[in-house]
Structure 1
Amino acid sequence: MSGLWRGCGRSTPWAIDDLERLDENTTAALIDDLEALRAHVGIDAWLVHGVSWGSTLALAYAVAHPARVTALVLTAVTTGGRDEIDWITEGVGRIFPEAWARFAATTPHGVRVVEHYARLLRDPDPAVRAAAADAWDAWEATHISLDPAWVPGPLHDDARERANFATLVTHYWANDCFLPGAASILARTDDLPDVPAVLVHGRRDISGPVITPWHLHRAWPSSELHVVESEGHSGEDEMELTCRAIDRLALVVPRAGG
């Protein structure tokens, strides 16, 4: 898995075409989807891989079904914690104040920016939803990396993809990725499987600081952390390390009784 959600990619209908059922799109539902897929293809246990949001989903799946996981390889690591979400939508604005001022300009006082955008992206007026999607995309493109090779620009050239991405991201983030408080990944590291795990993260990933995989690694004895000094959010060297880890850990034999 890399960035799996219902209602995107080849999953139909897309979220923007079925807003009435958006509340059914949750992390628990995605975990059930993964289990249904595993059973359908007849795999007893598998290596689980995720990038960015996919790493949060991979971790949530591993907590829910530890016996079905032989190893994990996570890149651009996130855990879906509220502090991570508030940083990426508000705190990092201290680094990019001009862009953040534009992004947050319409947010009412005392309202979280992500909750404001989640509401705009479900507004009955298509023009309101389109404007919110454009603003969200512009903000994401601004903060995603401090890698010198990164050139800010639209993350999604297609307007429908842009709107669908923003709708799903804000829906999940406004709900703490459906992993609130005691259900959060970092609060449940004791429930993670004792299997080989590799965490790969870029030092220049300003929107997802390395403190997140660092905390996860410190609390998860079977994990190893690789920080790529020169890259931001899932750069080429990070993906090369990821592929090597997958090749190595793909040989892990499933545990008996899994």
Structure 2
Amino acid sequence: MVQTRAPGGDLVCLHGFTQNRFAMVKDFVVTLAPLYRRIWFVDCPGHGATSIEPNEPNHFFDALGTIAPHFDLFGYSMGGRLALWMLATHPGVIERAVIVSAHLGITSTEARLARQSSDELLAQRLESLPYTAGLGSQNLAFRTFLKEWNQAPLFGDRALTESDIRLRLMNRPSQLAGALRSYGTGQQPDLTPSLGDTTTQLLYLFGASDTVYRAMADRARQLSTCEVQMIDQAAHDVLHDQPGVVAEVMVHFLL
């Protein structure tokens, strides 16, 4: 958590899959501090210090709801999905939300079943990885998985630093597997109908070269309270590719 003297409310930041709360402590996010009383950097279920609990992600949403009666949300990728999911299930709690490269939910039953199957295979692979707490970079099989996962074409030319990898090594593979089974994209409902009635002001950002989420942005445009903006020269991880542009767009939206 970052404590500020600003008179505004609270901002909660939710990270992507295999990351943790420290991944969201970025310079451009800290520049938002004057706008808020407090900024919370939170470990999503199955990541960092937040374990998977029964009835996830609703257990997580209920916990977030104790932060303040109303707050703003900032979520990237998986964290953006969770932000939208909470917005759909806890109306009136979230005043404004900045959503980056996040899925609104699979609309086809066939596609949902296929995604559940692929998520389960990935979960099984994670569970099979040898892991010893406290060894960090010595968990070589997990390190190899993280490098492979983060070299997917979705991320464009992004290259993780050793610091990025070490942050991800703070997670446990078995907990990441639990996250996939509890609230992976295959488990997430289609949020579009629920979000159609939301009064929360939304900003949806996506990278110009992220063709998958360009289509998702088209769905977001159908929401009456949603502003959509494409970030040039960026892939899925626009926070990494264009942090300065994201900061400028966010400040304009939040002021």
What's the TM-score bracket when you normalise by the shorter of the two chains? Answer: 0.5 to 0.7
Report what 2:184 is aligned to.
177
Taking a change above 3 Å as real, the CA distance of residues 86 and 143 of structure 1, as seen in their structure-2 partners, is farther
Residue type of the alignment partner of 1:32: D
Q: TM-score, normalised by structure 2?
A: 0.62
> Do the aligned partners of 1:201 and 1:227 also contact (CA within 8 Å) in 2?
yes
Secondary structure at 1:175 match in 2: helix
Which fold has the larger relative contact order, with Cα–Cα distance below 8 Å and residues 6 or more apart in sequence? 1
- Between structure 1 and structure 2, the one with the greater Rg is 1
Extract unaligned runs of 5+ from structure 1.
39-43, 91-110, 252-258
Scaled by the length of structure 1, what TM-score is found?
Answer: 0.62
Give the equivalent residue in structure 1 for 2:81. 56
Check whether the contact 2:208–2:232 (CA below 8 A) recurs between aligned residues: yes
- Structure 2 CA distance for partners of 1:18 and 1:243, relative to 1, 3 Å: closer
Structure 2: give runs of 5+ residues left out of the alignment.
Answer: 1-12, 23-41
Map 1:102-117; keep pairs closer than 5 Å.
112-117=120-125
Map 1:9-24 onto structure 2 (within 5 A).
22-24=52-54
CA distance in 1, matches of 2:155, 2:102: 16
Matched, 1:136 2:145: yes
Residues paired across the two proteins, number: 213
**Bigger share in helix:** 1
The amino acid of 2:87's aligned partner reads A
Give RMSD over aligned pairs: 4.3
**Distance apart, 1:23 and its partner CA:** 4.5
- Matches of residues 1-258 of structure 1 in structure 2 within 5 Å? 1-3=13-15, 22-24=52-54, 26-38=56-68, 44-79=69-104, 81=106, 112-120=120-128, 126=132, 130=139, 132-143=141-152, 145=154, 147-148=156-157, 150-151=158-159, 156-158=164-166, 161-162=168-169, 164=171, 166-177=173-184, 180=187, 183-186=189-192, 188-191=194-197, 193-205=198-210, 209-218=213-222, 220-232=223-235, 233-235=237-239, 238-251=242-255
The percentage of aligned residue pairs carrying the same residue is 11
Return the offset for 1:133.
Answer: 2.0
Alignment CA distance shift 1:119-1:239 (3 Å):
same
**How far apart are residue 199 of structure 1 and its match?**
0.6
Higher mean displacement: 59-68 or 129-138: 129-138
Shift of 1:142: 0.9
